[in-house]
């Protein structure tokens, strides 16, 4: 599906690679900004499952495919 390196990076690193702030990421996945800041230093593989399934498409950049250029 995707490489092992993706799961080993921190949420903060993946978020910055997409050019998103914590507030923007929280808005995209519909959670509080505080929740994003709590998990920011965790690796993606250590994030609890319901939140991880919301984060993965955004951090991979899938949300950019929906923009009508």
The CATH number of domain 4-61 is 1.10.260.40: yes
Tell me phi and psi for residue 43, to 5 degrees: -75, 155
Instruction: Give the Cα separation of 54 and 51 in Å (integer).
Output: 5
pLDDT value at residue 69: 62
> Is the pLDDT reported for residue 1 higher than 60?
no
Question: Rounded to the nearest 10 degrees, what angle do helices 49-60 and 22-29 cross at?
Answer: 110
The model's confidence at residue 10, banded by pLDDT at 50, 70 and 90, is: very high
pLDDT tens-digit map of 11-67: 999 999 999 999 999 999 999 999 999 999 999 999 999 999 999 999 988 877 766
Instruction: Give the Cα separation of 4 and 18 in Å (integer).
Output: 18
* Higher local confidence (pLDDT), 7 or 23: 23
């Amino acid at each position: 599906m995707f490489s092992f390196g993706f799961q080993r990076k921190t949420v903060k690193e993946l978020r910055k690679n997409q050019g998103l702030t914590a507030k923007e990421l929280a808005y995209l996945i519909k959670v509080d900004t505080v929740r994003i800041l709590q998990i920011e230093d965790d690796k993606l593989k250590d994030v609890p499952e319901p939140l991880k399934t919301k984060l993965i498409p955004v951090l991979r950049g899938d949300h950019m495919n929906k923009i009508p250029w």
